[in-house]
Amino acid sequence: MRIIIVADLHFISDQDPAQEMVQARRMYALARPSFRELADKINASSPDLIVILGDMVDWHSPENVNYAVEMMAELKAPWHAVPGNHEFSQVEQAGEGWRFVDDYQALYVPRPAAPASDWRSVPDPAVATIQAIWSAHGVAFHNRTITCDGVSLWLMDSALSEVPPGTEEWLDGAGRQSATNLLFTHVPPDTPENRTAIFTREPYRDMNKYVQSKAPGLYAGHIQNRFSHVFTGHLHVPYVIPHDRMTCHILGQHSATCVDVDAKGFEIGRLG
């Protein structure tokens, strides 16, 4: 079985009404040629499945979502995605220009436990609207498990460094399966190993945002000893971080990792 994993594509449509943002974020808006080159490599590798680790768009808008889905249609294998923080980013007009409306304090600073009906940092009406637009294109973002050829792929929502209610119990199911378990999510788990590796290389990173700071016990209680490999994105630069009986792979932006699984085990490497 061959799985291709891609992270942080940040698609921007030229048709988005926030043209000032389109120009300001031109490094992403001009990504079409590099994605087509990447798509050609992916298609040539004949994967059985493709997993996108979030941030398919640079901010949420119907135009960006439509464009992302159009671009992803160039991939010939079935693909699945987990949401990233940019799936829930929004822009607004401010005077004569545009700006991101993200509230850092609300989005990333840990807070007291919220009721299950109000768990996400983004207001529920905005979440419902965003998810409905993706869902209309057949793209799901909820926690789910895909099993194929004796391998279980666990796709987990950690878009804003938090996880949905019920995630712990869902992950515990991995311990009751004999299949090989691989975890795919946007934000790296909050572990001492991940914090140390990221801070050593990039000391300016805010760990409230760049690990699952609002789910601090998730790894030790529900991931450790259940998953052999965890694949994440979010940082845009690659890391391979060993843990006790698990390896965390943080993918670089616009790159693809290939995972080949057979009866002999795993072979993991960068595509191309």
- Cβ–Cβ under 8 Å, residues 261 and 1: yes
Residue 123 confidence (pLDDT): 59
| Cα–Cα distance, 33 to 47 (Å, whole number) | 21
272: pLDDT confidence band, cut at 50, 70 and 90?
low
Measure CA of the first residue to CA of the last residue in the chain; give whole Å.
18
Distances (CA, A) of 68 to 23, 25, 118: 18, 16, 28
Supply 94's token pair: 């401010």
Domain that includes residue 242, residue range: 2-270
Averaged pLDDT for residues 164-179: 85
Tally of domains within the chain:
1
CATH number reported for the structural domain that contains residue 68 in this entry: 3.60.21.10
Q: In this predicted model, what pLDDT tens digit does every residue of 114-124 receive, in sequence order? A: 444 444 556 56
Residue 196, SS3 per DSSP? helix
Residue 114 confidence (pLDDT): 47
Identity of the highest mean pLDDT range in 74-83, 101-110, 122-131, 257-266? 74-83
Q: What is the pTM of this model?
A: 0.92
Residue 119 confidence (pLDDT): 46
What is the number of other CB atoms lying within 10 angstroms of the CB of residue 151? 19
What is the number of other CB atoms lying within 10 angstroms of the CB of residue 224? 15
- Cβ–Cβ under 8 Å, residues 121 and 162: yes
Residue 74 predicted with pLDDT over 60:
yes
Fill in the DSSP letter of residue 223. I
Residue 131 confidence (pLDDT): 86
Averaged pLDDT for residues 81-94: 90
Averaged pLDDT for residues 113-141: 73
Q: In this predicted model, what pLDDT tens digit does every residue of 199-214 receive, in sequence order? A: 999 999 999 899 999 9
Identity of the highest mean pLDDT range in 130-144, 148-162, 168-182, 230-244? 230-244
Among all chains, which residue has been given the structure tokens 């249609």?
A: 73
What type of residue is 127? V
187: pLDDT confidence band, cut at 50, 70 and 90?
very high
Residue 6 predicted with pLDDT over 70:
yes
Averaged pLDDT for residues 96-112: 64
| Cα–Cα distance, 64 to 237 (Å, whole number) | 23
Q: In this predicted model, what pLDDT tens digit does every residue of 247-268 receive, in sequence order? A: 999 999 988 999 998 877 789 9
